[in-house]
């Protein structure tokens, strides 16, 4: 059985302008790998209705799951929910259960439940709410698209709400060996080893530390026995490697 596939769609002008460095992709990538879902593609698009709709429709057709971050707050630049509804060609409006959650939240906080905040209860027809234990305003799942907040701690809480509901595959395992040689020296024997293990993925990542050139050799796969065998072979190829 091959693992389910996924894509991430980051929505936000602030990422594209260089104002904010996206960290949600890195977080989600690690969580999906542990859960046995293969992240195959990431896209970042602006707060632009047409761009969001096009990306959502391309990605939901190509992968088993799509995770989005950003654009579900109360301000005028938060247009993700409407774009998702448009992508699925369903209606969108204030939903009673989401509105009740938010109303109770703002009542407890002693804050006005004004029109902007009520906007966060706009949910596309047919969606399931995603719990937000941080600040109440929910995300939602529509079809295979999971729509979450961009604020990192809320995004992470929503990922924790969604992931256990998804069927994962075998977690992707990885082991690495660090060698004190440049990529150009190890490339030949490393490629030969990779050809012997077509079921595993082997990558090399050069680095410079304290002025010394080295390479991390990484082997990834879902079968721990095959991974162990390949690592034994790799260590024999480069006996001077560091543990």
* Shortest Å distance, C-beta 238 to a copy of itself: 14
Query: Is the distance from CB of 193 to CB of 226 less than 8 angstroms?
Result: no
Please identify which residue in 1, 2, 21, 232 interacts with a copy of itself, judged by CB under 8 A.
21
* Shortest Å distance, C-beta 125 to a copy of itself: 24
Please identify which residue in 79, 194, 229, 231 interacts with a copy of itself, judged by CB under 8 A.
194
Query: Is the distance from CB of 13 to CB of 77 less than 8 angstroms?
Result: yes
The site string for a copy of itself over 34-73 (x = CB under 8 A, - otherwise) reads ----xxxxxxxxxx---x---------------------x
* Shortest Å distance, C-beta 207 to a copy of itself: 8
Choice between 100 and 125, CB closer to a copy of itself: 100
* Shortest Å distance, C-beta 36 to a copy of itself: 12
Could you give phi then psi for residue 157, rounded to 5 degrees? -65, -40
Please identify which residue in 165, 167, 201, 224 interacts with a copy of itself, judged by CB under 8 A.
201
What is the CB neighbour count within 10 angstroms for residue 123? 26
State the Rg of the chain over Cα.
22
| Residue 23 touching a copy of itself (CB under 8 A) | yes
| Residue 173 touching a copy of itself (CB under 8 A) | no
Query: Is the distance from CB of 147 to CB of 8 less than 8 angstroms?
Result: no
Site for a copy of itself in 141-170 (CB under 8 A): 151, 153
Rounded Cα distance between 101 and 95, Å, is 10
Query: Is the distance from CB of 72 to CB of 154 less than 8 angstroms?
Result: no
DSSP at 121: G
| Residue 2 touching a copy of itself (CB under 8 A) | no
Please enumerate in sequence order all residues whose Cβ is within 8 A of that of 141, keeping only pairs 6 or more positions apart, or say none. 127, 128, 130, 147, 162
Task: For the chain, give percent helix, strand, coil, nearest 5.
Answer: 40, 25, 30
| Residue 224 touching a copy of itself (CB under 8 A) | no
Query: Is the distance from CB of 77 to CB of 22 less than 8 angstroms?
Result: no
* Shortest Å distance, C-beta 28 to a copy of itself: 8
Please identify which residue in 64, 82, 103, 183 interacts with a copy of itself, judged by CB under 8 A.
183
Please identify which residue in 90, 218, 235, 237 interacts with a copy of itself, judged by CB under 8 A.
218
Site for a copy of itself in 72-131 (CB under 8 A): 73-77, 106, 111-112, 114-117, 119-120
């Amino acid at each position: 059985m091959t693992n389910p596939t996924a894509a991430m769609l980051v929505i936000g002008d602030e990422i594209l302008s260089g104002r904010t460095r996206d960290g949600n992709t890195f977080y989600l990538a690690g969580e999906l790998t542990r859960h046995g879902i293969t992240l195959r593609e990431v896209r970042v698009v602006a707060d632009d209705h047409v761009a969001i709709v096009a990306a959502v429709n391309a990605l939901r057709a190509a992968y088993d799951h799509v995770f989005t971050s950003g654009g579900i707050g109360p301000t005028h630049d938060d247009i993700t929910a409407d774009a998702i509804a448009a992508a699925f060609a369903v209606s969108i409006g204030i939903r009673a259960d989401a509105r009740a959650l938010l109303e109770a939240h703002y009542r407890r906080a002693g804050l006005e439940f004004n029109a902007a905040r009520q906007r966060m209860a706009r949910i596309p027809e047919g969606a399931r709410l995603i719990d937000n234990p941080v600040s109440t305003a929910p995300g939602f799942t529509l079809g295979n698209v999971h729509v979450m907040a961009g604020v990192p701690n809320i995004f992470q809480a929503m990922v924790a709400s969604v992931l256990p509901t998804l069927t994962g595959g075998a977690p992707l395992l990885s082991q690495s060996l660090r060698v004190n040689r440049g990529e150009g020296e190890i490339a030949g024997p490393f490629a030969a080893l990779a050809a012997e293990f077509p079921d595993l993925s082997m990558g090399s990542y050069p680095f410079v530390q304290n002025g010394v050139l080295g390479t991390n050799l990484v082997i990834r796969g879902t079968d721990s026995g095959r991974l162990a065998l390949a690592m034994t072979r790799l260590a024999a190829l480069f006996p001077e490697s560091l543990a």
